[in-house]
Amino acid sequence: MKNRVALEIEWNNKDPFFDRDLNNFRLLFELRAVSVGVIITRSDELQDIFNALGRGSSYGNSTTHMSKLLSRIEGGGGAGCPLLVFGIRKSLYVEDVP
């Protein structure tokens, strides 16, 4: 947290961690400690890359990704806290070629 902005990066955690993050943002907002919550996670489409790299089973449907987050936000998970969420997209992947 810095300058009333709370930041959380969720990368391959179990999706209930989104509930924890949203609840923390809500509480901090109600206490007037933060003005906005920011979450950075992966978009669902990154699964294609993980599958191609042979790591798809490590990044499954029950881990943190954008559709899991959006369903919680749409269900009111952020309460009154303004949220800014980013999903890292497949188009940002650059293969490291020697």
Residue with tokens 């400690």: 33
Model pLDDT for residues 58-83, shown as the tens digit of each residue: 777 778 889 999 999 999 988 899 99
pLDDT of residue 6: 96
Evaluate if residue 29 carries a pLDDT over 90: yes
DSSP sequence for 12-71: S-BTHHHHHHHHHHHHHHHTTS-SEEEEEEE-TTHHHHHHHTT-GGGS-TTB--HHHHHH
* Spatial separation of the C-alpha atoms in residues 82 and 45, rounded to whole Å: 25
The residue with greater pLDDT, 41 or 15, is: 41
Question: Using 50, 70 and 90 to split pLDDT, how confident is the model at 39?
Answer: very high
Amino acid present at 36: V
Do 30 and 80 contact (CB within 8 A), yes or no? yes
Question: Using 50, 70 and 90 to split pLDDT, how confident is the model at 47?
Answer: confident
The residue with greater pLDDT, 28 or 52, is: 28
* Spatial separation of the C-alpha atoms in residues 41 and 64, rounded to whole Å: 7
